[in-house]
Amino acid sequence: MFFLEKLNQAKEKLADRDADPLRANVEATVRGMEAISTVALLDLIGLPTTTGYARRISRTMRSLGFIPIKSRRLMPGGYRDTVTRGWARPVRNSGCRTSLKEGGKVGTLSAIEQCGADQQKDACHVL
């Protein structure tokens, strides 16, 4: 690699880190997790549990593809009124949409099966 290419790559890395300095740490922490509470995430990263840090984390989590949730499951011993906020990976595939415009009923099993069949068909025809 030429020196200028290495220099440009280093500039890009610094620009990414300056844009979101917590991204690498958050990404490493949530790797392999389906859901996590905001308090637990801040605790794992080693940041104080304040509103300001929770807001900073929210930008990073959204950019990683997580969605915000409120759940009792995220808090140990969560019961009725004990709800905590957190983050979860979306369950639906982003490439599959079922809507009334496509001619089927929204959320029907046949529409979901068709979606899976379309994805397999597309994967086969990519060759």
Per residue in 35-67, pLDDT (tens digit) is 998 988 999 999 999 999 999 899 889 988 999
Domain that holds residue 99: 92-127
pLDDT at 113 over 60: no
24 and 45 assigned to the same domain: yes
96 and 78 inside one domain: no
Number of structural domains in the chain: 2
Phi, psi of 103 (to 5 degrees): 95, 0
In which band, very low, low, confident or very high, does the pLDDT at 124 lie, cut at 50, 70 and 90? very low
**Do residues 83 and 98 both lie within one domain?**
no
> Which residue would you say has higher pLDDT here, 3 or 118?
3
| pLDDT band, very low/low/confident/very high, at 19 (cuts 50, 70, 90) | confident
pLDDT digits (tens, 9 = 90+) for 69-91: 888 777 666 566 677 789 998 87
Residue 75 and residue 13 share a domain: yes
Same domain membership, residue 96 and residue 84: no
Same domain membership, residue 110 and residue 81: no
Mean pLDDT of all residues in 99-107: 53
* Claim to verify: residue 81 and residue 100 sit in the same structural domain: no
- Radius of gyration, alpha carbons of the chain: 20
Burial class, 3, CB count within 10 angstroms (exposed 0-12 / middle 13-18 / buried 19+): exposed
- DSSP-derived pairing of the beta strands 67-71 and 84-88: antiparallel
Q: CA of 22: how far to CAs of 30, 56, 59, in Å?
A: 12, 8, 10
Residues 68 and 127 in one domain: no
Whether residues 81 and 102 share a domain: the answer is: no
| Dist. CA 15–CA 26, nearest whole Å | 17
Q: What is the pLDDT of residue 68?
A: 92
47 and 70 housed in the same domain: yes
- Specify whether 84 is located in the same domain as 100: no
Q: Are residues 112 and 78 in the same domain?
A: no
